[in-house]
Amino acid sequence: MADDVPITELIRRAQAGDAAALRLVFEATSAHSRQMARGRLRLGEQGTWLVTASLVWR
């Protein structure tokens, strides 16, 4: 990710239609989102059919 550009600015650019900014936002947040989803699945509901990727995409 472009370390000199705050994530909020990248989000603004992505909302304005900047495809490169959208890619950078996704790259910056996807690993963290998957990690959070794994943790919630580990803590949570018994017998859940959801997988980490499903939670991230919701």
For 2-55, how does the pLDDT look when each residue is reduced to its tens digit (9 = 90+)?
Answer: 568 899 999 999 999 999 999 999 988 888 887 877 777 777 755 555 565 565
Total domains in the chain come to 1
Structural domain contains residue 1: no
Quick check: is 19 in a domain?
yes
Residue 2 domain-assigned? no
* 37 lies in some domain: yes
Domain with 53, as residue range(s), is 7-57
Residues near 24 by beta carbon (within 8 Å), at least 6 away in sequence: 1, 2, 5, 10
Task: Note whether residue 32 is domain-resident.
Answer: yes
Residue 51 within a domain: yes
Determine, yes or no, domain membership for 31: yes
- What is d(CA 57, CA 5) in angstroms, rounded to the nearest whole number? 24
Length of the chain: 58
Q: Alpha carbon of 12 to those of 3, 31, 36: distances in Å?
A: 16, 21, 24
Structure pTM? Answer: 0.57
